[in-house]
Copies of this chain bind each other. A is one copy, B any other.
Amino acid sequence: MATTQKAPDDAGVGPKPRGSYAKSESTRAAILDAALEVFAQGGYHVGSLREIATKVGISEAGLLHHFTSKARLLEAVLARRDQLAAQFVPPHPGDGVRAMSGLIELAQYNACVPGVTELYCMLSAEATAPTHPAHAYFVRRYEQTRATLVEAFSNLAARGLLRENVTPASAARSTIAMMDGLQVQWLLDRSVLDMAEELRDHLRSVTLVEV
């Protein structure tokens, strides 16, 4: 966050950003916020640029000045959120136990931001279609997530903390599936289950870690 404006050919010593840069950056941020909110309810195809622009308080043309197309806007929304997710479970978790805690914290966080959770749940289903603008992104993202979790569970395996008949690969697949599936049920009826609690149960059935 903060002032992340990029001053070209300026080694970061410029004390005051040129007005236009600062304005542009804050507008972009506002657009991303609104886009996330709009895409989250109804999905990518239903959410319209008009709705997003209105929410920000600018025109559609004004919006498209910052993001050249709707698909690009979606990409930006997704990329921005990935940054945040990595704070819970880093791409290369050295400590498997710590990674388990991170997963639970992520589930707890997701329950606090239903909008983001809805966005991802809906988009990962939409993006199942090969023609969807975010298809490649989600295929890659799931590969990466699986790789990250395989690393975490491998660490546990090396410490004898994986239950028998459970491999790092199978644990990674099933854990991701569980998180995704819990979201659907939770989004349809939030009183029916506690995502973090349910994930904890799953991790206990797969590992010997006290989560």
Interchain nearest-CB distance for A203 vs B (Å): 11
Determine if A182 is an interface residue (Cβ-Cβ < 8 Å).
yes
Residue tally, chain A, CB below 8 Å to B? 45
B202 touches A173 (CB 8 A): no
A174 touching B170 in the complex, CB below 8 Å, given contacts A122-B128, A125-B124: no
* Segment among A2-10, A26-34, A38-46, A89-97 that sits at the interface with chain B: A38-46
A143: min CB distance to chain B, Å:
8
Interface segment among A15-23, A50-58, A184-192: the answer is A184-192
> Of B138, B187, B204, which one neighbours A188 at CB under 8 angstroms?
B138
**Residue A85 interfacial (CB < 8 Å):** no
| A118 / chain B contacts, CB cutoff of 8 Å | 128-129
Is there contact, CB below 8 Å, between A198 and B184? no
Shortest beta-carbon distance from A147 to chain B in Å:
12
Instruction: Specify how many copies of this chain sit in the oligomer.
Output: 2
Q: Does A179 contact B (CB under 8 A)?
A: yes
Contact of A181 among B139, B176, B192 (CB under 8 A): B176
Would you call A25 an interface residue if the criterion is a C-beta within 8 Å of the partner chain's C-beta atoms? no
Nearest-neighbor residue (CB-CB) of A187 within chain B: B128
Contacts of A131 in B (CB 8 A): 41-42
CB distance from A38 to the nearest CB of B (A): 11
Whether A202 touches B174, Cβ cut-off 8 Å, given contacts A43-B45, A129-B42, is yes
The residue from B43, B128, B185, B188 contacting A121, defined by CB atoms under 8 A apart: B128
Interface check A150, CB cutoff 8 A: no
